[in-house]
């Protein structure tokens, strides 16, 4: 792809015009034109649906739509810049090095983003029919000193394409289904992860779908910890990313399922009268994945997706669902029995969790609070309150974290900015996460109480390109959902039906281990 320097004057004339993504992001046709089709691509694309009954009240539908467009191709993203002038500087450097760059405007922002105007400008090089060609160019660019390049497929840009798409839909009608639908924690304890097929087999699930966001590596907390709220059988397992939308599943067959933005308040009160915020539950102190907490987290107490906030002074509550021992490290720990009486005060963290009690683990000022107010013989009263959107978290309730909201009251309501999916200082994050098409897992309810669990395959050019947030909202609306939320996606997206994995993993390594799932049990 390099060009002789003597041709640069000709090339400048050839590349004077820039290709704007705004033209590709033209307004979609009126939804009424789709007449029952999924609103993906133009109306009238070939769409095929096959449905099977899993058990009375539960159906699985596989929807295929569209075809690979001959206009889509592989290219290399060299840079994303919020300012056109900065993008043009990089393009000029590329031309000097003998490449033929394009600068493409990214016109759209998150629907609730208060900022206006284009979100940024992409600098791209190359046009290839195969990924191998683009990968070779990317290696050449890297050797020439261009860092952070990536191979992308333009059918995943979020603009106009013909697909194809593969969408999997589990429909649970509580009026006919007499089984149990609930969240299931991977490995049955908080730490570590498990394949969806493993969770499905272990629980004997008729069907299952991946659940919420979770911690992958130890640099971001406890691997396997849910990065947001988790409630199992009415017990809070992981604290909320305050204000983030989640899926609420009352005990039983899915009747009364809800989509709600949830927050929580946790506190400890010693019998000597001292009180303190409990910063979190069942996770490594000091690392808050997804942020959205309280107590001085840095750099923000607002939600910030795929980001780890920090706090050197925390009080974390560990319960038996975490496993045998708390997270090790410096600080102090108070061991509590079932009544909340302090049975031991330990220096250092990483001790046993009593099977019929709990442990308050402190760092920094949190450890000092324990030393002063959690001496053996005293009683610590723990308080936990989950609230938001009128949701009821009673005995037996399950909650799966997610975000952002996609539908409210039957209308699109994508709360990406409010829920931390937009970085004002780095608009590329939302472009990659929400504007571009990715594998998606979606959940929603209909006006008659039916629960919809949906998986959209993606990052598979020629098979399925995935969906943007707006397309996810459109899919749920077309399936007659009136409330809907985005769950964890990307390589985590998966669905099993009668033990078989019906989705196609997007990771090169295959199915990704996850933190939790929603299981449909006999």
The phi, psi pair for 493, rounded to 5°, reads -60, 130
Q: Which CATH superfamily is domain 1-35+70-162 in?
A: Sporulation related repeat (3.30.70.1070)
Number of C-alpha atoms within 13 angstroms, CB side, residue 342? 25
Residue 194 and residue 513 in contact, taking contact as beta carbons nearer than 8 Å: yes
The structural domains of the chain, with segments of one domain joined by +, span 1-35+70-162
Smallest CA-to-CA distance from 21 within 150, 153, 154 is with: 154
Token pair listed for 47: 């769409």
Position of tokens 């979190």? 280
Smallest CA-to-CA distance from 183 within 214, 215, 223 is with: 214
Position of tokens 């289904």? 177
CA-to-CA distance for 422 and 112, rounded, in angstroms?
Answer: 10
Residue 494 CA to its chain's centroid (Å): 13
CA-to-CA distance for 175 and 480, rounded, in angstroms?
Answer: 17
Residue 88 and residue 103 in contact, taking contact as beta carbons nearer than 8 Å: yes
What was the pLDDT predicted at 389?
81
What was the pLDDT predicted at 30?
59
Q: What is the pLDDT along the chain (522 residues), one digit of tens a residue?
A: 333 333 333 222 323 333 343 333 334 445 578 889 999 999 999 999 999 999 999 999 999 999 999 999 999 999 999 999 999 999 999 999 999 999 999 999 999 999 999 999 999 999 999 999 999 999 999 999 999 999 999 999 999 999 999 999 999 999 999 999 999 999 999 999 999 999 999 999 999 999 999 999 999 999 999 999 999 999 999 999 999 999 999 999 999 999 999 999 999 999 999 999 999 999 999 999 999 999 899 999 999 999 999 999 999 999 999 999 999 999 999 999 999 999 999 999 999 999 999 999 999 999 999 999 999 999 999 999 999 987 778 889 999 999 999 999 999 999 999 999 999 999 999 999 999 999 999 999 999 999 999 999 999 999 999 999 999 999 999 999 999 999 999 999 999 999 999 999 999 999 999 999 999 999
CA-to-CA distance for 303 and 246, rounded, in angstroms?
Answer: 13
Residue 13 CA to its chain's centroid (Å): 44
What was the pLDDT predicted at 17?
35
Mean pLDDT computed over every residue of the chain: 93
**Predicted confidence (pLDDT) per residue in 71-115, tens digit:** 999 999 999 999 999 999 999 999 999 999 999 999 999 999 999
What was the pLDDT predicted at 391?
77
What was the pLDDT predicted at 498?
97
3-state secondary structure of 316: strand
Classify residue 435 by burial, with Cβ atoms within 10 Å: 0-12, 13-18, 19+: buried
What was the pLDDT predicted at 139?
98
CB atoms within 10 A of CB 405: 27
Token pair listed for 470: 């707006």
Q: Which residues are CB-contacts of 6 (< 8 A; sequence separation ≥ 6)? A: none
Q: Which residues are CB-contacts of 89 (< 8 A; sequence separation ≥ 6)? A: none
Per the rule left: phi > 0, alpha: psi between -120 and 50, beta: everything else, 371 is: alpha
Integer angstrom CA distances of residue 90 from 79, 96, 149 = 8, 10, 12
């Amino acid at each position: 792809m390099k060009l002789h320097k003597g041709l640069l004057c000709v090339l400048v004339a050839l590349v004077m015009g820039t290709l704007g993504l705004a033209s590709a992001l033209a307004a979609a046709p009126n939804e009424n034109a789709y007449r029952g089709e999924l609103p993906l691509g133009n109306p009238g694309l070939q769409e095929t649906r096959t449905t099977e009954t899993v058990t009375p009240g539960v159906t699985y539908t596989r929807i295929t739509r569209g075809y690979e467009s001959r206009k889509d191709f592989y290219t290399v993203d060299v840079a994303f810049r919020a300012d056109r002038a900065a993008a043009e500087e990089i393009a000029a450097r590329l031309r000097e090095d003998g490449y033929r760059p394009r600068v493409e405007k990214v016109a759209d922002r998150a629907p609730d983003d208060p900022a206006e105007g284009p979100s940024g400008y992409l600098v791209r090089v190359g046009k290839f029919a195969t990924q191998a060609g683009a990968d070779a160019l990317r290696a050449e660019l890297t050797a020439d000193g261009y860092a952070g390049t990536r191979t992308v497929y333009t059918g995943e840009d979020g603009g106009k394409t013909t697909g194809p798409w593969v969408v999997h839909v589990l429909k649970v009608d509580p009026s006919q289904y007499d089984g149990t639908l609930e969240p299931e924690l991977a490995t049955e304890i908080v730490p570590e992860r498990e394949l969806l097929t493993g969770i499905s087999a272990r629980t004997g699930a008729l069907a299952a779908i991946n659940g919420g966001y979770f911690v992958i590596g130890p640099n971001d907390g406890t691997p396997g910890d849910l990065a947001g709220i988790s409630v199992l059988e009415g017990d809070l397992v992981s604290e909320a990313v305050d204000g983030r939308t989640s899926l609420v599943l009352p005990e039983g067959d899915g009747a009364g399922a809800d989509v709600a933005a949830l927050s929580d308040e946790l506190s400890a009160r010693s019998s000597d009268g001292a009180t303190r915020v409990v910063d979190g539950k069942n996770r490594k102190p000091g690392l808050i994945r997804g942020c959205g907490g309280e107590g001085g987290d840095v750099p923000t107490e607002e939600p910030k997706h795929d980001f780890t906030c920090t706090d050197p002074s925390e009080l974390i509550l560990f319960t038996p669902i975490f496993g045998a021992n708390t997270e090790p490290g410096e600080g102090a720990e108070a061991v509590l029995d079932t009544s909340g009486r302090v049975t031991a005060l330990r220096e250092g963290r990483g001790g046993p969790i009593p099977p019929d009690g709990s442990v308050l683990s402190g760092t920094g000022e949190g450890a000092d609070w324990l030393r002063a107010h959690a001496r053996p013989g005293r009683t610590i009263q723990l308080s936990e309150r989950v609230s938001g959107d009128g949701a009821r978290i009673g005995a037996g309730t399950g909650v799966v974290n997610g975000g952002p909201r996609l539908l409210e009251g039957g209308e699109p309501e994508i709360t990406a900015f409010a829920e931390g999916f937009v970085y004002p200082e780095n608009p590329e994050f939302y472009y990659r996460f929400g504007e571009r098409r990715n594998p998606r897992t979606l959940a929603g309810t209909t006006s008659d109480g039916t629960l919809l669990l949906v998986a959209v395959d993606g990052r598979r050019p020629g098979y399925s390109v995935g969906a943007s947030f707006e397309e996810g909202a459109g899919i749920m609306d077309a399936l007659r959902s009136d409330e809907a939320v985005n769950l964890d996606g990307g390589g985590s997206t998966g669905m099993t039906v009668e033990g078989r994995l019906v989705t196609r993993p997007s990771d090169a390594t295959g199915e990704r281990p996850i933190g939790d799932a929603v299981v449909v049990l006999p």
